[in-house]
């Protein structure tokens, strides 16, 4: 099985990285992308997920990021 990290940032979809044969490597990349987006000042909303070859979200690896002005 191969995995990819997919993201949608402010309405623009993209594949961040793909071709992971090790789920552990995909998980590390997933967390790195989430951290980057949580810290980005230009992100209003985003979604990040790990998908498999069937484009199904893998387990609980789907995160919603929404910036709220304080």
pTM: 0.91
**H-helix or E-strand spanning residue 30:** helix 23-39
Q: Kindly report each contact of residues 20-28 with a partner whose C-beta sits within 8 Å and lies 24 or more positions away, as own/partner.
A: 23/50, 23/58, 26/50, 26/58, 26/61, 27/61
Report the 10 Å Cβ neighbour count for 36. Answer: 15
- pLDDT above 90 for 69: no
Domain ranges of the chain: 3-66
Express as a percent the part of the chain with pLDDT over 90. Answer: 91
Tens of pLDDT, residues 44-61: 999 999 999 999 999 899
> What confidence score (pLDDT) does residue 31 get?
98
Provide the β-strand partners of residue 14. Answer: 7
For residues 2 and 6, what is the distance between their CA atoms, to the nearest angstrom?
Answer: 13
């Amino acid at each position: 099985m191969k995995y990819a990290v997919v993201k949608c940032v402010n309405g623009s979809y993209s594949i961040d990285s793909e071709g992971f044969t090790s789920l552990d490597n995909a998980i590390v990349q997933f967390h790195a992308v989430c951290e980057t987006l949580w810290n980005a000042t230009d992100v209003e909303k985003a979604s990040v997920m790990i998908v498999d070859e069937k484009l199904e979200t893998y387990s609980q690896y789907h995160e919603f990021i929404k910036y709220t002005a304080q």
